[in-house]
Structure 1
Amino acid sequence: MNDKELRARLIERLTADGHLRTGPWREAVSAVPRHEFLREGFFREVDGSTPTAWTPVMPDDPRWPAACYDDVSLVTQIAGTIVPGDVRGEIMRAPTSSSTLPGLVVRMLEDLQVDAGHRVLEIGTGTGYSTALLCHRLGNDSVTSVEVDENVSTRARTALGHCGFAPDLIVGDGLAGHRAGAPYDRVIATCGLLTIPRELIEQTRPGGIVLIPLCGWLYSSELARLTVHQDGTASGRLLGGQISFMLARPHLPPPLGLLPDLDDGDERPAVLGPDALDDWTTRFVAQLAAPRAQHVTLTREDRTEHLFLDVDTGARAMLREHHGRWTVRQNGPSRLWDAVEAHLTRWRDAGAPPLEEFEITLTSEQPTITWPGR
């Protein structure tokens, strides 16, 4: 298949899956060649590798053309600086930039509810593919995109130029927005955020929309769409769908460091075990109670233990199973597992409403998220 045929196949799939819903975005996906934004290759996960290993796939690889139009995310940078052309063989480091799966890209653009004449601020340029779709729909002068990584931004600028697009590309901290171009009608973030920066709200005109992947360190994330009000507050809903994005670099969790004495603290029977968090929705609700807690699985004395630790405050909860029952030992300035259990109990008592029914109110950077009956 040539690239036009691959694009047509992608459009069919995104339409069938319900991500691509309107004509203008269908025209944009048809017009913008995703492969042009992957000319420097991408990394493919090595099957069965533990820890995860990555191997480069370059444009001369027979797999490359079709893979560019698969509805999957493609890793384009590892460890903050390493690109596919730097690697021969395999590498075992964490991904730091990617080309998001097209289905999620177009779903977010549809959910952004843009219209002709709108000016859009994009947080996280990445490869530039979503930026190009915005430019095709709205025109170069209506699109500003901010990228923290200068090298990533430079590669995106080159790819956008090859496709005939010239938006305003800024190298800087996207969480601060770009005040010089404000106010914007729409703001969209293509990275996960723990909080919603006030700058993004302040740079959006009243009535404008901010679309944010809202995350936590338990790694359940959901799209939040908020409308900005005249008084500087914002409100909206979660959109559901179990989306996943790399966290914005300033919002990455801190290193765990030297673990504390895990046998110290107050112990009690646990109402809920850590297996309750295997479910995406339940984990998101738990995360609202402990957004900065990290979950670590440990093996000690031939048994598996689950540590929930807030590095900044030192609060921690260690859960252990004994004869089919869980206990929790907690220490620090707050009781993490008490908060998680209480939050989940209130949610379940309300009938466990789906995330799409959750309401968001924002008066500071930390949003207040509630559900019906709470």
Structure 2
Amino acid sequence: MTTSDTLRATLVDQLTADGALTDPVWSKAAAAVPRETFVGSYFVPIDGTTPTSYRTIRHGDPGWLEGVYADQTLITQLDGRTRPEDTGENPVTGAPSSSSTLPSLVLGMWQQLGTAAGHQVLEIGTGTGYSTALGAHCLGDGNITSIEYDPQVAERAASALQAAGYAPRLITGDGLGGDPNGGTFDRLIATCAVRHLPMAWLRQVRPGGRILVTLSGWSYANALALLNVTGPGEATGRFLPGCTSFMIARPHDRPPRPTLALLPGDERPSRIDPAKLDTWTGSWIAQLAAPSAERMGSGAQQILSDVATGSQARTAPDPAGGWTVVQRGPLRLWDQVEDAIETWQDAGEPHQVAFGITVSAAGQRVWLGTEDGPGWDLPI
């Protein structure tokens, strides 16, 4: 066996032992698909840097292949343009814009999607092509259609897939619009996050089909949902265990804003501990309550800035005990967040698995407990 084969077998054994790989079909795919074909050089974050700096690990560097076969996400592009091979020896900064997602998550999602022989699958976000190759290995090239937004990323993925011996149908374009040729699919899997379910997806996945997607927003809180399509433009589903996050689809990302200036406003005591927004589900609840706001800060000092209206809210410790909040603008952002967090607390602060989602012509609503329970509308 080559070093690559050995490392790949070790990774499969690790994922099996950890419970991430439970289906023999996908275990065989993980053992067969060479991840190094899809990940040449990559960026590694440098601990303790603010803003985060990255060093480049180049193809063939010491530890390169071991990094490829670690169960970790490998960043392959910054700021929508900078590739590892474009950099020198010095650290670089930037926002990750493309990556090879950690194998346990990729394989876990394919298993959660529940595919069967003959299923036609639409993948949103080809990325490096590694996930696409896994799908093609299990279901066959002719059953996989994958759409990538970034032409540079799409070209590299196509070359890697060809080199690995796979030939799925590849499209370069906006995956939020679905298959531009109007195909019909049994399953849809998204490797990017969205603020709401695009209607094109709900029309192209046949009734009885499934959609697996991460919902996010402008505060970058994430939740993975599995939906069953019940009719054209209609679906219902539940959120899944764990803590899954993806980069938000570029057309759904927040617009650029000028440097934030904190302005005076109305001050009052906060009814909730602002640090609740630092928890996985708490941050997501706050995002549901204030969907057009960006969240900054941490602990007792949270900042919400509404992208749409310029409304602001900021919290601080009160020397007398508890916390204060200052709000300004047409939206009382902290009022909205407090109401939502208190509803969640009244239910015992459950993980996202206690929530569901319903999509219909009336809108898209996330609810707690049951469909007629308390809920929040997604921004459309």
Determine the structure 1 residue equivalent to 2:129: 128
Determine the structure 2 residue equivalent to 1:186: 187
Instruction: State which of 297, 301, 306 in structure 2 corresponds to 1:310.
Output: 306
Distance of 1:216 and 1:13 partners within structure 2: 33
Equivalent position amino acid for 1:58 in 2: R
Q: Displacement of 1:47 after TM fit? A: 3.2
Answering whether residue 300 of structure 2 is matched by residue 285 of structure 1, we say no
Contact persistence 1:220–1:242 (CA under 8 A): no
Distance of 2:60 and 2:354 partners within structure 1: 47
Structure 1, gaps ≥5 residues long? 299-303
Answering whether residue 106 of structure 2 is matched by residue 102 of structure 1, we say no
**Number of residues of Structure 1 aligned to a counterpart in Structure 2:** 367
Give the direction of change, closer, same or farther, for the CA distance of 1:181–1:3 in structure 2 (3 Å limit).
farther
Q: Displacement of 1:49 after TM fit? A: 2.2
| Aligned 1:1-374 pairs, distance under 5 A | 2-39=3-40, 41-89=41-89, 90-259=91-260, 262-264=263-265, 266-297=266-297, 305-323=301-319, 324-363=321-360, 367-372=364-369, 374=374
Q: If the length of structure 2 is used for normalisation, what is the TM-score?
A: 0.92
Contact persistence 2:158–2:170 (CA under 8 A): yes
Distance of 2:107 and 2:168 partners within structure 1: 19
Q: Displacement of 1:281 after TM fit? A: 1.4
Contact persistence 1:195–1:366 (CA under 8 A): no
Equivalent position amino acid for 1:282 in 2: G
Give the direction of change, closer, same or farther, for the CA distance of 1:331–1:365 in structure 2 (3 Å limit).
farther
Q: Displacement of 1:366 after TM fit? A: 5.6
Report Cα offsets for 1:84-124 as digits up to 9, x if no partner.
Answer: 11111221111110000001000110011000000000010
Equivalent position amino acid for 1:42 in 2: Y
Q: If the length of structure 1 is used for normalisation, what is the TM-score?
A: 0.94
SS at match of 1:229: strand
Contact persistence 2:199–2:233 (CA under 8 A): no
Deviates more, 1:253-262 or 1:22-31: 253-262
C-alpha root-mean-square deviation of aligned residues, in Å?
Answer: 1.7
Runs of 4+ in 1 over 4 A off after TM superposition: none
Q: Displacement of 1:132 after TM fit? A: 0.1
Q: Displacement of 1:238 after TM fit? A: 0.2
Distance of 1:144 and 1:27 partners within structure 2: 21
Report Cα offsets for 1:48-99 as digits up to 9, x if no partner.
Answer: 3222111211112011111111000000011211111111122111111000
Q: Displacement of 1:256 after TM fit? A: 3.1
Report Cα offsets for 1:229-277 as digits up to 9, x if no partner.
Answer: 125310000002111111111122223315355213x221111132111
Distance of 1:359 and 1:297 partners within structure 2: 28
Give the direction of change, closer, same or farther, for the CA distance of 1:243–1:364 in structure 2 (3 Å limit).
farther
Q: Displacement of 1:167 after TM fit? A: 0.8
Q: Displacement of 1:21 after TM fit? A: 1.2
Contact persistence 2:264–2:328 (CA under 8 A): no
Distance of 1:45 and 1:365 partners within structure 2: 43
Equivalent position amino acid for 2:118 in 1: G
Q: Displacement of 1:125 after TM fit? A: 0.4
